[in-house]
Chains A and B, each alone.
Chain A
Amino acid sequence: MKKALSLLLALVLVIGLAACGGGTDTTTTTAAPADNGETTTAAPEETTTAPSGDKEKINLYAFTDEVPGMIQRYLDFNPEVAEKYELNATIIATTDGAYQPALDQALAGGGADAPDIYCAEAAFILKYSQGDAYQFAMPYEDLGIDVAAKLEEADIAQYTVDIGTNPDGKLVGLGYQATGGAFIYRRSLAEQVWGTDDPAEISKKVGPGWDTFFAAAEEMAAEGISMVSGDGDVWHAVENSSEKGWVVDGKLNLDPNREEFLDIAKTLKDKGFMNETTDWQDPWFADMKGEGPKPVFGFFGPAWLINYVMAGNSGGEAPGEGTYGDWAVAEPPVGFFWGGTWLLANKDTAKAEVVADIIEWVTLDSSEEGLQYMWANGTLNGEGGTKDSVASGTVMAKSNGELDFLGGQNMFDVFIPANAFANGKNLTQYDETINSNWRDQVRAYVAGEKSREDAIATFKQNVADNLDVIVE
């Protein structure tokens, strides 16, 4: 009896304490914005006198360990900064939709644990730069970065700037990658059909425009070759060719270019231009190795697709093995980009100076000591790393993008103009949901499960049902 009561008491105490702790938490939260002006100015003095063991934490929210790894390298390169600060990274996967709710709560909650820097993926960056959560992001210029001069010096891909600019016209987010896309094709199949594998020639064969692309697909089909693996491959190009985004002034906008995806996908299937795979599934990967039911001529994608996906799935590690070395990049029929990570700073950060240095180093530094030069040449963590297309045209112009996988082609020759083609003005914060709905309906139409009208009607209904968007 006494035991039971004491146990209960303990339980109530624990819960009570937790509740009290929460109470103080909320009060500091509400007080935080008012204090901030002072703490920002006071901070540097305090930290210089502080003993080196007492490091300040730079709070970072990210969804992979890529950016945390970069910032860790920054601290390695700058020991004087590392004396004062240490990285406190919170990594939450975007799977199961967990990253955004957690980040949102952390931003809204504020306090000492609020992120100083946070990352956003292409799929949801709009929410943080222009949408519901834009008020949390501090403009780069307020951090003390000379934005205009730096942008010009580094020749940053315009679409990444457009995406990172808030409704007041101020830049709040930039990436380190540029993910402008190319058409990545098989050299041997080009040789077989057209007698040449020269990227400049192939660029003229497959584009510009879908009509040219289909004419080329016709020639490929005649030789028993599929132009692409699945309709998902052309989707990113179609999506980006649209003038406006899915939602304009709160209303659903089905752009004619995006509506045409129905017909493009149907043509791909009916004329045997594709293997009807679904992206990110086994048969799609098998097509990269050339082991599908029909050989596949090419894939649409940015540099990361080559490095992280295609190279590993080519069935070899050196030219001559599998399809390794049998690829090249050409200009796509329609400009597009796919993916990317943007860095944003919290408007309430008390460490504006170091945050500014880090963000500038990652996104705007076009020198050989900047992150992007190392990222483009694959030298961030020592020689021989993966080469990637970066946001700064200046960096890419002086970097070496030659890959054995592409038969020695310098991929940057194609990706620099590709980054310029990409359009960053047609995104909305609803894209992830609306895209998956649209592609689902297109798939049903192409498979002959429903009519074109029904597919469009169901699509509109789904958007109206699941989002706070007006559908006419």
Chain B
Amino acid sequence: MRKSTTFGRVSFKTIAYIILIFLTIVSLLPFIIMLVNSTRSTFEIQQRSLSLLPSTFLMSNFEVLTGKTFDPIVGFINSSIISVSATALTIYFSALTAFGLIAYNWKMRQAFFSVIMAIMMIPAQVTSIGFYQFMYRIGMTNNLLALILPAIAAPAAVFFMRQFMLPTLPMDILDSARIDGAGEFYTFNRIVIPIMKPAMATQGIFSFVASWNNLFLPLILLTSNSKYTMPIMVSLLRGDIYKTEYGAVYLGLSLTVLPLFIVYFSLSKYIIAGVALGGVKG
């Protein structure tokens, strides 16, 4: 009996590891191809776009990338400004909103939560026509704020934070803080925020990735080349069908993904540890 369970356990582990390793390969392969392709010439890539053998064109691809009329460093700075600010706004204000939803018993609370859930259903693509026209009318095209400020209202992040806060928020600490005469805002910043760290880190990753990779809206909103983001610059390399510089495109994509890696891996301890979300719906 016991033997068969150990045997079962061993075979379970074997199968599990085979699946896990397979998934690992499938998940990492595109990155490897991307990195390898950034060392290959455009024509090598056209002949065979999927290869695991690096070539020697890294420098010439880099020259193509930097030899254009736009500056990748500017793109990098713009992307950083947008993504860092948008992420900061998302996690801070989502935590604040979630806190407001949980810590206080106000009349419109239930209605407001329903509204947030409903907003999640409004697809961004759908309203992009209206959003663009609106931004154009108020003169916010070519303004990074047009891509940053909307991050304040991130319904999915609010939902996530709320679910996290439900089981973890110590109401008694809040009460004792009140007794000590601490303001509500102070309490939130000094007591609640530190507790929220794991959830904020996880949402931070999600929103940073989304914001950094966002192409469609920046592409139509930012038309001045001093405002371009990294993804816009990479898409410019693909702009001309006659002579797409694939080598430089892949190098650009690889460079674009590097900051994501840095952010992701520096926050990945929260992914490894996991974030406990409460299951109670309210």
Contact = CB atoms under 8 A, between A and B. Distances in A.
Nearest to B139: A22
Q: Assign chain B's interface to a size class.
A: 35 or more
A285 B47 contact: yes
Contact of B238 (A65, A90, A93): A93
23 contacts: A14-B149, A18-B138, A18-B145, A21-B138, A22-B139, A23-B139, A64-B240, A89-B225, A90-B223, A90-B225, A91-B69, A91-B225, A91-B239, A93-B235, A93-B237, A94-B241, A96-B219, A105-B141, A109-B136, A286-B47, A308-B243, A313-B43, A339-B242
A365 B176 CA distance: 83
B220 A280 contact: no
Interface string B197-224: 0000000000000000001100110011
B239 A93 contact: yes
A14 B145 contact: yes
If over half of A's interface residues share one DSSP class (helix, strand or loop), that class is named, otherwise mixed; here it is helix
Nearest to A69: B69
B140 interface: yes
Interface string A92-128: 1111101101100110010000000000000000000
Interface string A284-320: 0110010100000000000011001100110100000
B279 interface: no
Interface string B47-60: 11100000000000
Interface of A: 1, 3-4, 11, 14-15, 18-19, 21-23, 25-26, 63-66, 68-69, 89-96, 98-99, 101-102, 105-106, 109, 280, 282, 285-286, 289, 291, 304-305, 308-309, 312-313, 315, 339
B261 to A, nearest CB: 25
A69 B49 CA distance: 30
Interface in B64-96: 68-70
Given A18-B138, A18-B139, A68-B69, A96 B216 contact: yes
A96 B41 CA distance: 24
Interface in B214-267: 215-216, 219-220, 223-225, 232, 235-243
- Closest 7 CB pairs between A and B? A93-B239, A22-B139, A22-B138, A285-B46, A312-B43, A308-B243, A64-B240
Interface in B16-53: 41-43, 46-49
Given A91-B225, A285-B46, A25 B139 contact: yes
Among the interface residues B49, B140, B239, which one has the most CB atoms of the partner chain A within 10 A? B239
A449 to B, nearest CB: 26
B282 interface: no
Contacts of B136: 105, 109
A91 B149 contact: no
A98 B240 contact: no
A59 to B, nearest CB: 10
Given A1-B183, A63-B239, A91-B239, 8 more contacts: A1-B184, A3-B185, A14-B145, A25-B139, A64-B240, A66-B240, A96-B215, A285-B43
B69 A65 contact: yes
A109 B46 CA distance: 40
B106 to A, nearest CB: 15
Interface of B: 41-43, 46-49, 68-70, 132, 136-141, 143, 145, 149, 183-185, 215-216, 219-220, 223-225, 232, 235-243
A303 B46 CA distance: 19
A92 B223 CA distance: 7
A16 to B, nearest CB: 10
Among the interface residues B149, B219, B237, which one has the most CB atoms of the partner chain A within 10 A? B219
Contacts of A106: 223
A472 to B, nearest CB: 31
Contacts of A63: 239-240
Nearest to B42: A312
A8 to B, nearest CB: 11
Contacts of A286: 47-48
Nearest to A108: B136
B46 A91 contact: no
Given A101-B220, A309-B242, A65 B68 contact: yes
A96 B69 contact: no
Nearest to A89: B69
A18 B219 contact: no
A292 to B, nearest CB: 11
Nearest to A106: B223
B149 A282 contact: no
